[in-house]
Amino acid sequence: MKTILLLIVTVFSALSAFAQEEGSVDSKTTKNLTRQQKIEQRRIDEEATAKLVHQMVRQRQFVLEANTVGNQTGNRIVVNSRINFIAVDSSHITIQLASVSGIGGYNGMGGITAEGTISRFDIQKTGKTKNGYSIRLYTMTRIGSYDIFFNISPSGYADASISGTTRGKTNYYGKLVPLKQSKIYKAMSI
């Protein structure tokens, strides 16, 4: 009787140990598959974003929604991307710099809004795989002429440097968004 009981306990112990080992192998396999699926999904998302950036640049319809603005000395401040932007629509451009307080300024939002036309639009592909962009715009607005230089990554992150006829430079740092999907708020322009 004791031997039968001992045999039954030994068989159940072996079965439970085998079941635990089998479960851990499945867990490792699942984890590896999940990791590979995440890598593949990330690659697919990056390709889709790069195609969208290419389409925006090719059609010349995009908005650089700036979350940071800086000057030529490197000083930067965090800003609201809905009211600080550069919008390009074919040959038309809107440049806006505004404050969250919305008090004062020429545009009624503590800053300035300039609308104008693009007289020249130069595009160059950059990077090892030539999937980034360098764009130079020459613009005319009511308040002056501006040279705007964009650096755009395939992931949609961009920066723009605006220089005019006077000393100084304003730099916008943010994300490129399709013109129709942008949720910017344009204030009064000069």
pTM, rounded to two decimals: 0.79
| Mean pLDDT, rounded, for 13-21 | 56
Place 85 in a pLDDT band, splitting at 50, 70 and 90.
Answer: very high
**Strands 132-141 and 144-152, sheet pairing:** antiparallel
The confidence score (pLDDT) of residue 99 equals 87
Residue 162 has pLDDT above 50, yes or no: yes
What contacts 149, CB < 8 A, 6 or more positions away? 134, 135, 136, 137, 160, 161
Kindly report the backbone phi and psi dihedral angles of residue 188, in degrees, each rounded to the nearest multiple of 5, phi listed first.
-65, 135
Selection from 98, 82, 71, 91 nearest residue 162 by Cα: 71
At 146 the three-state DSSP class reads: strand
Residue 22 has pLDDT above 50, yes or no: no
Most confident of 38-47, 57-66, 125-134: 57-66
CATH assignment, 60-181? 2.40.128.410
Selection from 69, 47, 53, 93 nearest residue 170 by Cα: 69
DSSP E strand boundaries for the chain:
61-71, 76-78, 85-89, 92-97, 112-126, 132-141, 144-152, 157-163, 169-178
Residue 20 has pLDDT above 90, yes or no: no
